[in-house]
Amino acid sequence: MNRVILCGRLTRDPEIRYSQTVNGSMAVARYTLAVDRAFKKEGEQAADFINCIAFGKNGEFAEKYLHQGTKIIVEGRWQTGNYTNKDGQKVYTNDCVVERHEFCESRANQQNNNNNGIMGGNASSDSFMSIPDNVADEGLPFN
């Protein structure tokens, strides 16, 4: 069985191309998902960047609705391949071929995250959120 389910954010807007088929043209969308790792060692990358490719209606969906920072769930299959580049070197590829997309957050949350950055407007470089001075100590969930 070859089944992949990923949850992550697009690292950039999808790249859309149209290929000619017998029945007309077909959308082909390529994008990269940043998928957080459940466990990480200190100094190690905290996310995996997974190449996704969507064909036909899924490609049209990506073109219309997906953009950088959008959090989605992707369901599909893993596909490996290879080709020889113009320098004569063999290049190996790994892609998730998308069979289904689903949004993970509401449009309001998505716009809020895009306006404030992924970590929120008050996030510092160490990923901790600053607590405003006007918040009373008894309003915090810990003391």
Q: Where are the domains of the chain?
A: 4-104, 107-143
CATH superfamily of 4-104: Nucleic acid-binding proteins (2.40.50.140)
| Distance from C-alpha of 60 to C-alpha of 117, rounded to nearest angstrom | 27
Contact 75, 5 (CB under 8 A): yes
In the chain, the percentage of residues whose pLDDT exceeds 70 is: 72
Torsion of CA 100, 69, 93, 2, to 10 degrees: -30
pLDDT exceeds cutoff 90 at 127: no
pLDDT tens-digit readout, 101-123: 999 987 666 666 655 554 343 33
Is the pLDDT higher at 112 or at 93? 93
pTM over 0.75? The answer is no
